[in-house]
Amino acid sequence: MSRPTHAPLSARRPWIGLLLLLALVACKRGSAPDELPGAASEPAGAVRQLATHLHGNDLQAFARDALPPQEYAQLAQAWEQGRSRWPLTELPLEDRIGPLLGTLAAPGSEKALTRSFNAQLAGQDKALAEAARSMARFGNQYVKNQGDYSDEERAHYAQVLAALGAWSATAPLGDRRHGAAAIERLAGAARATGLDGDPALVAAGMDDSLRRLGPFAGELKAVLASYGLDLDDSLDRLRIGLVAERGDHATVRIHYPLAAAEIDTTLSLTRRDGHWYLDDYLEHAAALLREAPAPGPGLDLPLPALPAPALPVPAPAQTPPATAAPAAGR
């Protein structure tokens, strides 16, 4: 019996080739990325460990491994004295974390915030996207020309801001259902931390605050993923390689996707007591310990005006500040 003959792939229906292409893409996205040369080196491993902690929302472990024990203990003490918010100072709007938690955790915040969102921002996708792009362009110029950033930070942040500006052009920022769901999730996560403002952060201390903020970070990442900005996917597909290692100094290359962009940059590390640490984190910690200012606004940037009115937020419930004594330093 003769075998049935099959037409070549090019002669079959076009959608068969498309399905094969999509299958290949799906397999590639689901597989582990090819590592860069030097991925098994100790400096690359130190960066990988920090990324693993962030992926697992383990902010305590991230902080412990990001700095040598002495600096970690000093910053934990400065936190309890209200003089530092490291490692939150490595995040944008770090000086707004306490007020943000207070606003989200306030009784009835879901209804109040959703009402404000629907009245002023819902359906304004085009205006919101343009505002986000304008802020990204402004931030890019600021990072390139101003601010206290290292050359590596300037190169890295410029790519990140460009990627976020492009992402905002297609994200459903003004969608009513998306907005209501995001507010509900973040409000619940904020209440679950038990941290309703700066006094609560001080009373809890650095270690316990980071432990309680871990699930909130996970919920925030989930909300961003629902808008098309999947940070866990970025961490999953992070590639790290060694560029150079000379004595106690090393340079690694990192490559990861962010929205539709590919970020490619280098990081410098220093070895202290047998462990590798990012130079930028060491320098930030040293600056904080030298200055140790009272907590207050961080970067006071004159951001461009949004085309839509700013979202009013309800004031957090007025409760007497906690009087619990700070936890003992590490």
Token digits of residue 73: 């203990």
Banded model confidence at residue 302, pLDDT cuts 50, 70, 90: very low
Closest CA to 80 of 232, 206, 219, 213: 206
Asked whether residue 207 is assigned to any structural domain, the reply reads yes
Judged by DSSP in three states, 241 sits in strand
CB under 8 Å to 160, separation ≥6 — which residues? Answer: 258, 263
Least confident of 91-95, 203-207, 291-295, 306-310: 306-310
Contact in structure between 165 and 132 (CB atoms under 8 Å): yes
Asked whether residue 316 is assigned to any structural domain, the reply reads no
Q: How far apart are the first and last CA of the chain?
A: 81
Tell me how many domains the chain contains: 1
Distance CA 109, CA 174 (A): 19
Residue type, 19: L
Question: If you search the block for the tokens 């590919």, which residue do you land on?
Answer: 262
Mean pLDDT of the chain: 81
Residue 96 vs residue 283, higher pLDDT: 283
pLDDT (tens digit per residue) in 22-78: 333 334 344 445 789 999 999 999 999 999 999 999 999 999 999 999 999 999 999
Judged by DSSP in three states, 215 sits in helix
Distance CA 304, CA 83 (A): 30
Asked whether residue 307 is assigned to any structural domain, the reply reads no
Q: What's the order of all strands across the beta sheet hosting 261-272?
A: 239-246, 249-258, 261-272, 275-278
Provide the b/e sequence for 256-268 (b: ≥16 CB within 10 Å): bbbbebebebebb
pLDDT (tens digit per residue) in 166-204: 998 889 989 999 999 999 999 999 999 999 999 999 999
CB under 8 Å to 36, separation ≥6 — which residues? Answer: 44, 239, 240, 241, 242, 253, 255
CA dihedral 10, 13, 16, 18 (to 10 degrees): 80
Provide the b/e sequence for 100-134 (b: ≥16 CB within 10 Å): bbbbbbbeebbebbbebbeeebbebbeebbbbbbb
Domain that includes residue 277, residue range: 36-291
Asked whether residue 3 is assigned to any structural domain, the reply reads no
Contact in structure between 47 and 269 (CB atoms under 8 Å): yes
Closest CA to 278 of 301, 249, 306: 249
CA dihedral 259, 263, 268, 269 (to 10 degrees): 40
pLDDT score for 56: 97
Asked whether residue 315 is assigned to any structural domain, the reply reads no
Asked whether residue 303 is assigned to any structural domain, the reply reads no
What is the residue-wise DSSP string for 246-279? ETTEEEEEEEEEETTEEEEEEEEEEEETTEEEEH
Phi, psi of 258 (to 5 degrees): -140, 110
- Work out the number of other CB atoms within 10 angstroms of the CB of residue 242: 20
Token digits of residue 145: 């020309």
Residue 47 vs residue 317, higher pLDDT: 47
Q: Kindly report the length of the chain.
A: 330
Asked whether residue 26 is assigned to any structural domain, the reply reads no
pLDDT score for 267: 96
Residue 321 vs residue 254, higher pLDDT: 254
CB under 8 Å to 328, separation ≥6 — which residues? Answer: none
Asked whether residue 101 is assigned to any structural domain, the reply reads yes
pLDDT (tens digit per residue) in 68-106: 999 999 999 999 998 889 999 887 656 788 999 999 999
